[in-house]
Amino acid sequence: MKETISCKEVMRYICECLAKDTSSERCLALKDHLDNCEDCREYFKSVKLTIDCYQKYNVELPENVHKKLMDFLKLDD
């Protein structure tokens, strides 16, 4: 029988289904649910956006910090 899931379960299983394994029965059921539930679609989108924000927030290694690292480790650049 085809698996169905509730809105609350959608929130729990997003964890697994944002990963690459989208062919599992549960992920297919989640996708099915999202196709028919606007609230959950918005929730899913907001979780993905949250991750996206953090992925794009990076800091660059300054040259002086690199040099200090090489000195600390007694390595020649």
Contacting residues toward another protein, per CB under 8 A: 8, 11-12, 14-16, 18-19, 39, 42-43, 45-47, 49-51, 53-66, 68-70, 72-73, 75-77
| Rg of the chain, C-alpha, whole Å | 21
Return the number of the residue (1 or 15) whose C-beta is nearest another protein.
15
Q: For the purposes of burial, counting CB atoms within 10 Å of the CB of 20, is it exposed (0-12), middle (13-18) or buried (19 or more)?
A: exposed
| Min dist. Cβ of residue 48 to another protein (A) | 9
Return the number of the residue (4 or 54) whose C-beta is nearest another protein.
54
Per the CB < 8 A criterion, the answer to whether 77 and 70 are in contact is yes
